[in-house]
Chains A and B, each alone.
Chain A
Amino acid sequence: MTQAFRIENEGLINRDKKLSFKFNGKTYFGYEGDTLASALLANGVHLVGRSFKYHRPRGFFGAGVDEPYAVVQLYRNGETEPNIKATEQELFEGLEAKSVNCWPSVNFDIGAINNFLKIFLPAGFYYKTFMWPKSFWYRIYEPFIRKAAGLGVASTKHDNERYEHKYEYCDLLIAGSGPSGLAGAYAAAKNGAKVILAEDKPRFGGSLLTSDVNIGNQSGKDWADSIVAELKTMPNVIVKNRSQIFGYYDHNMLVMSEKVSDHLPSTKKYHPNKRLWYIRAKEVLISSGSIERPIVFGNNDTPGVMLSSAAKEYLKVYGVLVGRKPLVFTNNDSGYETAIEFKKHGVDPIVLDSRKNPESEIIDEAKNLGINIKNSYVVVAAQGYKKVKSADIASISEDKKQLGKIENIQCDCICVSGFWTPTIHLASQSGNKTKFKEEIDAFVPGQSKQNEITLGAANGVFSLEETLKTSFTAGSKLSKKITENDNEIAIPNVVEKKSSQHDKFWCVPLPNGKNYKRFLDFQNDVAVSDVEIALREGYRSIEHVKRYTTLGMATDQGKTSNLNGLQLVSEIENKVVPAVGHTTFRPPYTPISIGAIVGREVGKHSKPTRKSPMHSWHEKNNAVFVDAGVWLRPRYYKRGNENLFEGSKREAKNVRTNVGVCDVTTLGKIDIKGPDAAELLNRVYTNAWLKLPVGKARYGVMLREDGIVMDDGTTTRISENHYHMTTTTAQAANVLSHLEYYLQLVWPELNVNVVSTTEQWAGAAIAGPKSRDLLQKLFPNSDVSNEGLPFMGYMEGDLFGVKARIYRISFSGELAYEVNVESDYGNFMWEKIIELGEEFNIQPYGTEALSTLRIEMGHVAGSELDGRTIPFDNALEGLVSKKKDFIGKRSLQRSAFIAEDRQRIVGVIPLDKQTSIPEGSHLVKDDKAPLPNPKLGHISASCWSVEYDNPFSLAILKDGKNMIGQKLFAMSPLKNKVIPVEIVSSHYVDPKGERVRS
């Protein structure tokens, strides 16, 4: 294929590097520096997709972020990405892209039948049609809408690309590298301020790349290049291209998406695909420029109709002619600039100007070049289906209401200019109350809300001279405030052509007897008639009109459609535009990959992984791990072909008969010191703490102020003013915050310090009837007899030269100890326990056996202390002091908490003693009762009792105290199970607690 529309000696592309690419399966060539759009246009391809609703043919309308149509599905390096604007995607060797929203192909699209049914598909069509019959929604309407909705398909594969987040702080953040951005950045950088300059396009310079101006005796582009080159050498400046600042958030936090690799065939090793920058700026200079707005006329969505500025950009930046018989339709001088560029490259344009008799330097130049200009003329309708073939044009009366005789002229593209709309999205997101500027028929930023200032075209200033002057001044002033430097910068002299006033004309009336679709919003297929319907049906607020018609929605966010939509509403409503107001601009300004937002926090990186010091031993010994909060804990140690059930049963049984060892490092540990430590514990826990002797541990329960159990654990008095508190693994962080809250805010008079020591101690629970024998071997010099170290006793010991803390506490219900050593000695301790335990048939046990042991003992854990239970519910009311006050005590008097039939923990056994009861099952009286079957309680934890060799569960049951002996049903609709059960005591094994004291 030849690039038939590429011209010589123009553009900024690299003609030495030819690139091949595929579009809809066909191979084309372009050059390095092209976008997919410019390369397709160079090959004469104008048809890129089908429209959202009517499946009308779609071409290119813009040349950058403003593009509403040319959205493609991109294939790169084995991955696919939807929602890519062809006008933004840089060409690389081997690029592949396909059209979206068409089937079977863009040339022959079955959905295009909607175009002929459009009379039935007006605004609100979905809302009105799919309402009845109700039963049709799930089966018919929703699948149909799902299939019809959206542009492109998301990949279902894992995304192998890497995305990074970065935090940055700066004095001045500058959004956009056009003339105002460059001037502001340069002035601030010269004053020594820390500056970040962000440009969303690959090339810096903005409008200077395409406009015919001179700055300081250089062309605009050369001036921009020299400024950027100098900024890049300055250590206090970060200059970023391909970087879109898409959101302005609270407290001057802006977020920028940097496309690091999208322009390359594949991402370089160790490089991210995109980098998301969170930038906290002291001052923000918004120089985001403006977007040309269309004039509305019949069939204005036909491929070949595009913004005149886009046509100029394709010519000046890419050396591409968008047509050889261009028609320029304008209401201001910008159209003439495009016409002049065409003429300079040997193409004869025709200019239709809606104005009667405009005069300016630019128009004079066009006239001198011999360009055919028709004043008071408009395009009535574009003709041609997949490409513009001709245009119906007519003269228009001064009041813009009457069309003259319609003539048809040949053309292959229509370049439209309806004047300029400042890009105020960022300013508006910052909270700036925008104001309507009558002279330019558009909104501009008003009073700054945060530390932001908007300059240049984004502020409605279209003269280069004024833009540079105000931007240099702003850059100097803002940076001076921060750095206190005041380096005067001479403002270069500017040569630009003066332009004349634009015409307040935006929509061509329909000729008699014609019913052309006149589109306002090209992305969402919203035509003038749709907005008219919405207003006729009573929608008044612009926000409602937007939602009813979809005007200005989706990825486009009304970049080209917003103001014309407002003009229409204000015209019909007989209001002025500012009274109609505009819809809210919300971030992101342009679509951002979900991957970039998520960053590195995917898969196992979504949260930290904490491992105990004994982790590598567990790994070597076939541990199967389970996530316990952010910790990895052994669930069981697999032997041979054992499964979880068999392995955990073996481990639990060994604890009941011999001795087992469990890694309990993950338990939360808090060191508490100070003369008022006992008083703090006494207020935090429900039971009494003032009389706990040194060398003794006590079990405690703490509540929230609302009376709900927050956590439980043991606390040991190490010395007079020193306590060691343990918490559950899950609540460790919350308990520390809780203690800090009371110490810092409620009872600052208490002289106590708390600090987390979870990671400082490695812990091993040694449990089973032979645990004392093993302990004696581990600590030959200590008296660990029942008298020397009684139940709930504490002592320090010497573990072969390592200082250890020994607690006689038990979670398993067996005779048990917990040994703690400093973390670095954790592995040493563990290996010693295994080594010396061998003669007692020691086996390590994991969390599954740990659960089994505690469940059959009726010890509560997280599944019972689930944020919904009070001490009574867990049979812990014996630990609630009647004498003293404590956190949450007053709440326990609430009537629901003292009700006679209050829920309470019970044991549950299946009648067949075979069927395990799924956790979460509901307990009901009658399994045949009609739904919703009244729920009496739920199964909180289930195990296979190793003591009795049958299933056993714990449940929280209404009136549990009086339900012992009752027969109920455990129902699990999820597992489709109904199990007849008997309610028993929650203390299934050793109800008197003799073993722990033996």
Chain B
Amino acid sequence: MLYINCPHCGMRSQNEFSYGGDASVKRPELNKEVSDQEWDNFVYNRKSLRGKHLELWQHISGCRQWIKVERDTATHEIFRTFKADEEVA
């Protein structure tokens, strides 16, 4: 079970969180003309990569904040975690 450092609450076990997928996906702006391909990329297409992955988790049984977690999908190593509004450098 992963041990995730919630930027608001500290180290908490994975069973307090729910997974939210790739954090690098940006929703197209409202009212913007979007091509089929662009929209498909936003809704469906994910890299599903092996290695370092920036992903969303929600601390659902805790502070209910969505956070960003930089995790290795192969080894489960967690490098850094960020608040929702924090820029990932």
Contact = CB atoms under 8 A, between A and B. Distances in A.
Interface string A421-461: 00000000001000000000000000000000000000000
Given A741-B58, A745-B56, A745-B66, A251 B76 contact: yes
A744 B66 contact: yes
A167 B34 CA distance: 49
B31 A737 contact: no
Classify the secondary structure of B's interface with A.
loop
B9 interface: no
A251 B56 contact: no
Contacts of A706: 43-44
Given A251-B76, A705-B43, A740 B58 contact: yes
B66 A280 contact: no
B1 interface: yes
B34 A890 contact: yes
A748 interface: yes
B64 A740 contact: yes
B85 A748 contact: yes
B1 A737 contact: no
Contacts of B88: none
A182 B43 CA distance: 56
B88 to A, nearest CB: 13
B3 A251 contact: yes
Contacts of A167: 13
B75 interface: yes
B24 to A, nearest CB: 12
A15 to B, nearest CB: 46
Contacts of B66: 740-741, 744-745
Given A431-B75, A740-B66, A705 B1 contact: no
B39 A891 contact: yes
Interface string B25-59: 00110110010000100111000000000001010
Interface in A240-293: 249-253, 278, 280
Contacts of A885: 30-31
A610 interface: no
A890 B60 contact: no
Contacts of A929: none
Interface string B1-25: 1110000000001000010100000
B77 to A, nearest CB: 9
B58 A737 contact: yes
Given A251-B76, A737-B18, A683 B30 contact: yes
A192 to B, nearest CB: 21
Contacts of A748: 84-85
A748 B27 CA distance: 13
A594 interface: no
Interface in A716-769: 737, 740-741, 744-746, 748
A745 B58 CA distance: 11
Contacts of A280: 3, 13
A740 B30 CA distance: 18
A266 to B, nearest CB: 33
A251 B20 contact: no
B13 A891 contact: no
A828 B26 CA distance: 50
A250 B84 contact: no
B25 to A, nearest CB: 10
Contact of A251 (B1, B34, B84): B1
A931 to B, nearest CB: 33
Nearest to B64: A740
Contacts of B85: 744, 748
B3 A890 contact: no
B40 to A, nearest CB: 9
Contacts of B31: 884-885
Contacts of B56: 745
A250 B28 CA distance: 36
Contacts of B65: 744
Given A251-B1, A745-B84, A891 B43 contact: yes
Given A737-B18, A891-B39, A250 B30 contact: no
A744 B84 contact: yes
Given A705-B43, A737-B58, A250 B64 contact: no
A705 B42 contact: yes
A706 B45 CA distance: 12
Given A741-B58, A885-B31, A250 B2 contact: yes
Contacts of B27: 705, 746
Contacts of B75: 431
A167 B65 CA distance: 24
Contacts of B60: 737
A250 B42 contact: no
Interface in B59-79: 60, 64-66, 75-76, 78
Nearest to A890: B39
A253 B44 CA distance: 34
A446 to B, nearest CB: 16
Contacts of B34: 890
A251 B39 contact: no
Interface in A679-718: 683, 705-706
A705 B20 CA distance: 14
Nearest to B31: A885
A249 B1 contact: yes
A250 B75 CA distance: 9
A253 B43 CA distance: 35
Contacts of A740: 58, 64, 66
B2 A251 contact: yes
Interface string A220-254: 00000000000000000000000000000111110
A167 B58 CA distance: 22
A431 B76 CA distance: 11
B3 A252 contact: yes
Nearest to B3: A251
B21 to A, nearest CB: 10
A277 to B, nearest CB: 13
Contacts of A737: 18, 58, 60
Contacts of B18: 737
A250 B76 contact: yes
A595 to B, nearest CB: 20
Contacts of B39: 890-891
Nearest to A737: B58
Nearest to B38: A890
A683 B75 CA distance: 39
Contact of A278 (B1, B64, B76): B1
Nearest to B33: A890
B54 to A, nearest CB: 13
Among the interface residues A280, A706, A740, A744, which one has the most CB atoms of the partner chain B within 10 A? A744
A45 to B, nearest CB: 44
Contacts of A431: 75
A253 B1 contact: yes
Contacts of B1: 249-251, 253, 278
Among the interface residues A683, A740, A890, which one has the most CB atoms of the partner chain B within 10 A? A890
Contacts of A251: 1-3, 76, 78
Nearest to A889: B30
Contacts of A891: 39, 43
A11 B28 CA distance: 76
A914 to B, nearest CB: 46
Query: Which 10 A-B pairs give the minimum distances between C-beta atoms?
Result: A251-B3, A885-B30, A744-B84, A885-B31, A744-B66, A250-B76, A253-B1, A890-B39, A746-B27, A705-B43
Interface of B: 1-3, 13, 18, 20, 27-28, 30-31, 34, 39, 42-44, 56, 58, 60, 64-66, 75-76, 78, 84-85
Given A167-B13, A251-B76, A744-B66, 19 more contacts: A249-B1, A250-B2, A250-B3, A250-B76, A251-B2, A251-B3, A252-B3, A253-B1, A705-B42, A740-B64, A741-B20, A741-B66, A744-B84, A745-B56, A745-B66, A745-B84, A890-B39, A891-B39, A891-B43
15 contacts: A250-B76, A253-B1, A253-B3, A280-B13, A431-B75, A683-B30, A705-B42, A706-B44, A737-B60, A740-B58, A741-B66, A744-B66, A744-B85, A748-B84, A885-B30
